[in-house]
Each structure stands twice: as C-alpha cells, then as structure tokens.
A and B are shown apart, each in its own frame.
Chain A
Amino acid sequence: MRQAPVLSLRGATKRFGGLVAVDQLGFDVAEHQVMGLIGPNGSGKSTTLNLISGALSPTSGTIALKGQPITALSARAIARKGVSRTFQLVRMLPSMTVLENVMAGAVFGHRRRWGGSAEAHAIAMLEEVGMADEAGSPIGQLTYIDTKRLELARALAGEPEVLLLDEWLAGLNPTELEEGIALIHRLRDEGRTIVLVEHVMDAIRSLCDACVVMSSGKKIAEGTPEEVLSDPEVIRAYLGDDDA
C-alpha cells in the first residue's frame, strides 16, 4: 500500500480580484520526496508556496499536512505543525548574530527547544550548512550565499516535516551554485521532504524526484524531471507555440 502523502493540495485556488494566480492546483508530496515546482515567470509557483506556508490563504480548495487540513491556519500555526520555508528575497534578522538567527527557528519552530539545547541544535544546523565558524558574526558581514545558507539553517532548525525553498539557488554565481546544489543534495540524502521552486534546470534534473509544471496558475504536467521537460505542452509554455 502507498504511504499517505506528507503534503497534499486539492483544488487549491487563489484569486487576486479578477486574476486567478493559482487555479485548481492539486498534487501530493510523499515522505522523503523532493518535489520541484517549475514554470515560466508569473505562473503561480511562489503564490503556491505562499499558500502552503500560510503567508496567503487560499480562496478555495484544501491543503493538508499528514492528512490534517492546514488550509485556514495562520503562518504561525502552519510553522508549528511542521512547514518551514525560505523566502524568495532573503530575510535575515539584521540586529542578531548568525547563531541567534538560527536559534529563532530552533526556539519557536515545529520542535521547540530552549537554552543550551536550542543553542547546541542551532550550532548543529550551522555545521550542516557549513557555517559553524561564523556563529558569532553579525549579519552585515555575510556574503550573499552565506545569507542563503543561514536562512536555510534557520528553516531546518525547527525540524520541519516539509521544507519549502523559494528559488533558493537564484542569484548564485557558478561556483556557489555547485555548492548550493551539493548542499540540497545532502538534505535530500538525509531523507528530508522538500518542495522547491526553481528556475535552474540543472538543479531540477539532479535534485527532484518529481516535478509539477505550472503555467498561468494551472498544472500542465506532472512526473519525473525527464518526463515533464520533454512534454510538448511544457516546451510550448516556456518557449511559445512556434518552437514547439
């Protein structure tokens, strides 16, 4: 028998006035699966992540985490239940040190810790992303990829059931990109459940077990990266009718 999905969307819809940003979207993410959410700009990928994380609430449809509906919950409640995320534009806590940034996730996340145990856990997370040496540094001195790593460590610190990465690899230079992909590969090998919105095709091919392709808010294809990237409708969505 197939295991119940960790995350499932059914008919998830988000309207902004007359615009339907996400239209009747449905997919399942199994445990230990890395699901890629791809599609052209403006196809509703980030909005979908915002619906899952509770930054926005859906106009209709349901979203469930381990069979429990989380559709109408606030971002805080969803985080507590085990969904954590990084942001498309990196969000740091600028007045705090690197370690304190990660502790924010460890103290208030899905699994809550406090005091020495929160600190030890935060340091372990920094080791995981390769930043243990910078625990005491202020945020202002970090390079761009380090801010991305740090945000990832903060998201991991609450030991989420599902990790949402919103274009986590965007804006990295080629060397950093390699490091970044390797890092997410390690998370994948640890058996974490991840939904990632990504434009970098190499990353999608090497990281994702499955992909959902969106265009104008709708799901137009679902399957392994090879399947969906050779799907004529996907090619049409990306390149237009003439090239298909």
Chain B
Amino acid sequence: MTARDWQKLITAAVLLGIAALLPLTGNAYWLSLGVSVAMYTVLATSWALFSGPTHYISLATAAFFGVGTYVMGSGIEVMPYWTLLPLAALAGGLLAALVGLATLRLSGVYFVIFTLGLAEMVRQCVTWYQNQTGHKGTYVLTELTEADIYWQLLGLAALVYLAGWAIQRSRLGFALRIIGDDEEVAAHSGINTALVKVALFVVSGLVAATVGAIIAPRYVYIEPATAFAPMLSFQVVIMALLGGTGRLWGPLIGVIPFTLLWEVISASFPNQTTLLLGLCFLLIVYVLPKGFVGLMQRLDLMRQGREAFA
C-alpha cells in the first residue's frame, strides 16, 4: 500500500469515528435521520459495486432487503439475534446467485424489468404464505435501541467500503470494468463474464439482505408491503446515480442530500412523494448524468484548463 492509500484509509476511519459519535448527542430526531443515511449509504454503495461498472441497473434491492427482514422476523423468536444476521446474508446471497444465473443472458431493459418483477414476486409469495398460515405480519421484538441499529449499520458500511476497495484493486474489479465497457471483448479476452457478474450481484444481494435484517427490529411489526416496498429499489438507484458510481464514495454524497430532501418532501407533501421522486429522477438524468462525482471531475478539468491558459 502506498502512502496515499494509508492517508485515505485513515481519513475514512476518522470520519467513521466521528459518525459513530452521533448517538451521544442524545437527539432522537438526528439519530433517526442518521439511521436512514447509514442504511441508504450501505444499500447504495453495495448496489453501485455491481451496477456502477457493469451499467446493469438492478431494481432487486427491495427483494433482498425484504428477504433479510423476513429472516429476522421469522427467526427472532427461536434463534439468537446474532446468528440471524449471517443467515439473512446467506439467504440474500443465495437469492442473488439464483437470479444472477437466470438473468445472465438478459441485458439492458430486460434485466431491469426482471429485477423489478422479482421483488414483486417474492412479496406476493410471502403474502400468500402468510395468508395460508393466517397471519398478516410478524412482530420483531428485541431489546435493541436505535443507537444499536445505527452502530451496526456503520459497521456494515465500513465492511462494504473495505470490500469495495479490495474488489477495485483485484482482478475481479478489473474484469468488471472490462465487462462494463464491452462484454464481447471481455469474453474474447478470456474473462468468465458470467462468474464475475454473479459474484458481484451476490455481494450486493447479501449486503442488502443484511441491512434488512438489521433494520427489522426498528419496524417492530413487519408485513410484506413494508418489507418489500418497491420504492426502496428506486430510491437506492436514484441516490447512487445522484452521487455518481464512478467512485467508491460517490453514492455517499448522493445519499446525504437526498435523504435530507426526502425528509422535507415526505413531511411537507405526504401525498405527492412519488411524483416528486419522479421529478428528482428526471432532474438527475438531465442535469447530472454522472452524478456529483462527474460534476466534480468536470469542474476540475475546467479549472485545469483555466490554469493552462493563465
């Protein structure tokens, strides 16, 4: 590792340490915002690990997230909490592997539609199962406080960043970038495109499921409509694109403003949230196609250009 790498690593650790102090302020409102930011950061960053380089837009986040919440919801009465987190990750990873293998040959819009359909299908299956057993939802009762949930999410975020950093420096990350540029060239260069895509999709699936499992106690009562809300998938995509998927930290700088904006929108215009979500989507695509990361790179180029003339 170079000195620059150490510098980045230490900066990240310090920022994480500062973020971990938030519950100590004792402000419940800020803490609840912090949980949302941490949750969306993990989801958007892990989403971007796969979708950023490959440009495969996945709308399956809600499916993995929902599976995670349900693993927690159905297991909490019979098993210790800590064993359920890896179980949820395993379930999410398995689902992602199955979906990945089934959709490998799909590209572009077909992949998007399939992943959206997947979330809906899993939700319908869970609803059907619950109707068979005469339940509507499930209680998730734990001793965990909002601060515990927040710290767990921060820990998961650190893991995701470390994994993303390791992937970027590995053959796997290089292969993924080549696939994103030209899948045909990738295959003819000797890359197992199927394996690489499934591997990264599994990573994003298992992370989303773990987030679902961590968040479940916060809901206290979960039902399919909340656990598998399709809105979540769209929010994650918008946040990641707003920040920019070209850098590992890109999604984070999309998550923070968007979560705050979302807070304002849902408080002030509770009936128009979907409409405003759509407007945000349009704006991002038109104004910031490469997100804040792209904008910063463009400004940087302009600055260098001016200096060259000065």
Binding site for B on A (CB under 8 A): 53-55, 74-76, 79-80, 84-85, 87, 91-96, 103-105, 107-110, 112, 114, 154, 158
User: What residues on B are CB-neighbors of A114 within 8 Å?
Assistant: 171
Residues of B within 8 A of A103 (CB): 174
A158 touches B190 (CB 8 A): yes
The answer to whether the Cβ of B213 comes within 8 Å of any Cβ in the partner chain is no
Summed over the interface, the residue pairs from A and B with CB atoms below 8 Å come to a total of 65
Q: Judging by beta carbons under 8 Å apart, are A79 and B190 in contact?
A: yes
A79 touches B188 (CB 8 A): yes
Minimum C-beta distance from B95 to chain A (A): 26
Contact B189 A96 (CB under 8 A): no
* Interface positions of B (Cβ within 8 A of A): 171, 174-175, 177-178, 180-182, 184-193
Out of A75, A95, A158, which one reaches B177, CB within 8 Å? A95
Residues of A contacting B192 in the complex (Cβ-Cβ under 8 angstroms)? 76
Contact B189 A108 (CB under 8 A): yes
B174 in contact with A107 (CB, 8 Å) = yes
List of A residues within 8 angstroms of B181 by Cβ: 92-96
In the assembled complex, the Cα of A76 lies from the Cα of B189 at a distance in Å of 7
The answer to whether A79 and B189 touch across the interface, beta carbons within 8 angstroms, is: yes
Residues of B within 8 A of A75 (CB): 187-188
Known: A74-B187, A75-B187, A91-B184. A104 touches B178 (CB 8 A): yes
Which residues on A sit within 8 Å (CB–CB) of B193? Answer: 76
Contact call B188/A96, Cβ cutoff below 8 A:
no
Least Cβ–Cβ distance between B245 and chain A, in angstroms: 12
Q: List 27 A-B residue pairs with CB atoms under 8 Å apart, sorted by A's residue number.
A: A53-B188, A55-B188, A75-B188, A76-B187, A76-B190, A79-B187, A79-B188, A79-B190, A84-B188, A87-B185, A91-B182, A91-B184, A92-B181, A93-B177, A93-B185, A104-B174, A105-B189, A107-B171, A108-B171, A108-B178, A108-B186, A108-B189, A108-B190, A109-B189, A114-B171, A154-B185, A158-B190
For B190, list chain A residues within 8 Å (CB): 76, 79-80, 108-110, 112, 158
Shortest Cβ gap from B304 to chain A (Å): 14
Alpha-carbon gap, A158 to B182, bound state (A): 18
Q: How far is the CA of A20 from the CA of B167 in the complex (A)?
A: 45
Contacts A104-B174, A110-B190, A154-B189 aside, 8 further interface pairs with beta carbons under 8 A come to A74-B187, A75-B187, A79-B187, A79-B189, A84-B189, A91-B182, A93-B181, A95-B177
Measured CA separation A74–B184 after assembly (Å): 12
Q: How far is the CA of A40 from the CA of B209 in the complex (A)?
A: 57
A35 to B307, CA, bound (A): 54
Distance in angstroms between the alpha carbons of A120 and B185 in the assembled complex: 21
Give CA–CA (A108, B189) in the complex, Å.
6
Q: How far is the CA of A243 from the CA of B187 in the complex (A)?
A: 44
Residues of A within 8 Å of B177, CB to CB, are 93, 95-96
> Given the complex of chains A and B, what is the CA–CA distance between A131 and B237 in angstroms?
40
